Structure 1
């Protein structure tokens, strides 16, 4: 597995990551780590390879955009000194353009999204062993849907940014679409954004496959 023994893995993002995690830092007993893919990753690492002693921290905040992550990056990432960092962000950057169209001040357009991702990766350069960019997801089969089409633009930006900074890139949206060939999106997320446990497992599985985790 690519994550070395004794590593601290910090996973940051929006509500898909958050899922009721503890404040100020999402780790500890019970459900302190939340109920998202982060909890699944933590449980699988602890159960399948406890000898590796990998520490998993959830720093998701519901409603966050990439702009919000930049604003809290010092306290919620750099000050916690992770060895590995995953960033899964962007769906609210897109969503606010559709559910709050008359509030342009909360919109994060592609140019700013790219700048925010670049800024965060510059901040961790030389400070973490590996940064992982995980695509935002939208559970919609129709690629002509306006919001689904916008997602492709943001995913392309994330992929380009990952390549620029030698970060790992995980296309979670593609993993979702493989599953959506066999079930309706509402069977994974009632609002096409917030996943149920099946959806969270898809995210966790995508990450763990990418880092070489084996049962």
Structure 2
């Protein structure tokens, strides 16, 4: 399902540091400074403005650095349902995977695939029950070798996100596929030194994928 960029609508983006990017607190919305942060959410708004100057979307950024799907669940009422958007874009899962690789003492902070699937499904179901549209963007790892352990596990979580979207009849934005196309010509270091936090070019790759997934060709 694609959205009409000319139809008045409040679109809320929620996720981890990739979404956050130093957005305005408590609510990432406005016109002064960088209320949407400095990442893909701001670029989505910029692309809409540049390519469809008559667009009527209100863009809101509610990303929080470090979040897992468990963190999203803890703040869903205040940061999504209470804001009453017309549509929500969820991109979560990178920290759910990364914490299993980055340190050995994350303990209960690690999010297994069963909890990831169940929690994401519950958030989607609750949001749709409130009359809010939902799109799911898959997590990614900027590494071309699909046998690399973290890339393989991230692919598994992205597959879960895609399955949840399909089961609920939602749009799925395959961010990993967008990065894979770029990685056919670029080294991962050209996009993200840690293979997780993109520079501006990487955020543009995400923004292009999100705009195409939400609005089609502009």
* Bin of the TM-score, shorter chain as denominator length: over 0.9
**1:173 is aligned to 2:176:** yes
Does the aligned pair in 2 maintain the 1:82–1:128 contact within 8 Å? no
Does the aligned pair in 1 maintain the 2:127–2:133 contact within 8 Å? no
**Cα shift readout 1:139-188 (whole Å, capped 9, x = no counterpart):** 01111111111011101111110111111111100110000000100100
What's the TM-score, normalizing by structure 1?
0.96
What's the TM-score, normalizing by structure 2?
0.94
**Cα shift readout 1:39-96 (whole Å, capped 9, x = no counterpart):** 0011111232232321000000000000000000000000011111100000000000
**1:145 is aligned to 2:148:** yes
CA RMSD after TM alignment: 1.3
1:100 matched to which residue of 2? 103
2:88 matched to which residue of 1? 85
Note the residue ranges of structure 1 that are not aligned, 5 or more in a row. none
Does the aligned pair in 1 maintain the 2:135–2:171 contact within 8 Å? yes
Give me the whole-angstrom Cα distance separating, in 2, the residues matched to 1:128 and 1:51: 25
2:75 matched to which residue of 1? 72
Note the residue ranges of structure 2 that are not aligned, 5 or more in a row. none
> After TM superposition, what 4+ stretches of structure 1 lie above 6 angstroms from structure 2?
none
1:7 matched to which residue of 2? 9
Give me the whole-angstrom Cα distance separating, in 2, the residues matched to 1:133 and 1:16: 15
1:17 matched to which residue of 2? 19
The alignment covers a number of residue pairs equal to 215
2:164 matched to which residue of 1? 161
